[in-house]
Amino acid sequence: MVVTFVTMVATFFAQVLNRNFFQAPGFSWFEELATYCQIYMVLIGTEIGLRDGTQVSVTAVVDRFQGKKKKIIQMVSKLIVIVFSGVLAFSTIRLLRVQLLSGQTSSAMHIPMFIPYFALTLSFSIITLVQSAMLFAMLKDFVSGDGGGRMTCAADGRADS
């Protein structure tokens, strides 16, 4: 994520310098590269937000419950995220296959379009794996009845005792 952010800022800066001072032809790809970096950054940031609980969420239902009922609802919520992201990950694999077979390239940089589309497959695959690991940890804590351990609340990122 840091690499995509630094690349995006550098290419936007170079584009502004070129447009206002140098006006050198042939640098129309700056904007396209910055856009693709921004796409990767947002999609990878989505996984980070889900992992640490900073993603926007509605907790009205979860907050009505306490104890085991609350943890069950959190696990069901996590399972829904896993299924959704897993379906999207597999769907984007088909999209990548179509892009590979079509040979379509981007307009300015002339790179294969499967590279920008790979951001979807990468991010939803990572979301599926990380959220599955988190669900496994939640299930393990739930089954073991770990009263002294801490489990991250899936809804709001707080640690429950």
Integer angstrom CA distances of residue 59 from 45, 55, 90, 127, 161: 21, 12, 29, 20, 18
Predicted confidence at residue 25, as pLDDT, reads: 83
Predicted confidence at residue 3, as pLDDT, reads: 93
Cα(124)–Cα(46) distance, integer angstroms: 9
- pTM given for the model: 0.79
Predicted confidence at residue 146, as pLDDT, reads: 66
Predicted confidence at residue 54, as pLDDT, reads: 78
What are the counts of helices (DSSP H) followed by strands (DSSP E) for the chain?
Answer: 4, 2
Query: At 151, is the pLDDT very low, low, confident or very high (cuts 50, 70, 90)?
Result: very low
Mind listing the pLDDT tens digit for each residue in 75-131? 999 999 999 999 999 999 999 999 999 999 999 999 999 999 999 999 999 999 999
Among candidates 159, 139, 158, 157, which has minimal Cα distance to 148?
A: 159
Among candidates 4, 12, 10, which has minimal Cα distance to 38?
A: 4
Does an H or E element contain 76, and which?
A: helix 67-102
Instruction: Name the 3-class secondary structure at 105.
Output: strand
Q: What is the mean pLDDT of the chain?
A: 87
Indicate the residue type of 4. Answer: T
Angle at CA of residue 51, ends 48 and 52, nearest 5°: 90
